[in-house]
Amino acid sequence: MMAGGDEDVLIIDDRDRYARFRLISWWDQRKIARSKVMVVGAGALGNEVLKNLALLGIGHVVLVDYDEVEHSNLTRSMLYRSHDAGRPKAETAAGRVRELNPDVEITWINGDVMKDVGLGWFQDVDLVLGCLDNREARLWVNRQCWKVSIPWVDAAIQELMGVVKIFVPPDSACYECAMTEQDYRLINLKYSCPLLRREDLIEGKTPTTPTISAITAGMQTQEALKLLHGMAVQAGCAIVYNGIANNLYITQLPRKEECLSHHCYRGIQDASFGSRDKAQDLLASVGGGDLLLDRELVISLRCDLCGRSDDVLRPRTDVTMRDGMCPKCQVVMSVEMGHVVSAGSPLAGRRLEELGVPSNDILRIRKGGSTRHVRLTADRPTLKARGEAD
Ligand SMILES: [Zn+2]
Ligand SMILES: [Zn+2]
């Protein structure tokens, strides 16, 4: 139940779920109820963040995770039960968020943030909370947030250590600004020589405790609260907490002007196309040009020994070493990759989804010397927060 005007603030109405929050001088429950927040990852951090967002009464949560609940998650994930094993994390966590607070609208996407979540989802939220366990996905989220100028708060945990980083495009330091050679090396390790994903590398097995995930996700959600209220935050800073020594420090990350993540899209135009439409139809609607794919595409695989040639048409991140082996010769085949789809080319005859473009995406079309940004609106979902009027 919402309180009426500001004059109600000091009346404690015990039927009002948010009565205690309203006693905080700067608190604006209506602002929170109108907020839209994306949470990427429903693991240990994601569970704690989602719990916090549910209790706060956030208007609309968009939750992305591709994983399923496992028994080993149960020590750090308060939203899961043992009978949830094998169910998608995103759907399961969304159900528990609704139980915790029916005021919260939640849209879940059982998919990979890098492959399955169009940039439009990012444009439609107020901020993004990264609850991820790997650098590659963080780098992706960072670039997406910069393109559409949406702040994001990243968190990472290990044993009793937690780090929260606040990024506010376009001017703060970003996640990539602080990446080291070692970080790039670790990301590239996942792609072996012909750049195909190695499926045998274990990720996300970092040892963590429910205590550090609660502490870190608490700090992360608090930064989100400040951003949603328009309060000052330490943009481009990392908050580092060491739970062994109980010390906490804040460090300003360096901003690199030559950083590859700082590309902001200006003047995004709507196009009444969806990911099921053909690339050539979209290109024709803007008078031709080249569609520049954000997800590099494996077009075909060819065996140099026997001459076998397979059409693939899948994003690079989706093709494993096993897919790249010639079944007859047991050697890794040569890879043809691309990210440019020119009007009139055979690739342009494909549907956008076949080219690895997810629904609700924002595409880059290069024509002459300029690049325009076009949002697919035919499959655009409506994200309505509870606090928003119809
Ligand atoms: Zn940067
Ligand atoms: Zn062969």
For residue range 301-348, list pLDDT tens digits in order.
Answer: 999 999 999 999 888 878 888 888 999 999 989 999 999 999 999 999
- Kindly tell me if the per-residue pLDDT of 204 is higher than 80: no
Closest ligand, as measured to the CA of 236: 1
What local confidence, expressed as pLDDT, does residue 2 receive? 46
- What pLDDT does 382 receive? 86
Determine the Cα–Cα distance for residues 9 and 6; give it in Å rounded to an integer: 5
Q: How far apart are CA 127 and CA 384, in angstroms?
A: 15
Q: C-alpha distances in angstroms, 51 versus 104, 156, 218, 221, 223?
A: 11, 17, 10, 10, 15
What was the pLDDT predicted at 354?
Answer: 92
E strands, 273-385, in order: 290-302, 309-315, 334-342, 362-367, 370-376
338 Cα–ligand 2 center, Å: 22
- What pLDDT score does 192 carry? 58
Lowest mean pLDDT among 94-98, 172-176, 237-241, 376-380: 376-380
Q: Tell me the ligand closest to 170's alpha carbon.
A: 1
Kindly identify the ligand whose nearest atom is closest to the C-alpha of 328. 2
Using only C-alpha atoms, what is the Rg of the chain?
22
Compute the distance from residue 149 Cα to the ligand 1 centre, in Å: 13
**Residue 115 above 70 pLDDT?**
yes
Helices (H), 151-235: 181-188, 210-228
pTM of the model as a whole:
0.91
**Which among 347, 322, 344 is positioned nearest to 336, based on CA atoms?**
347
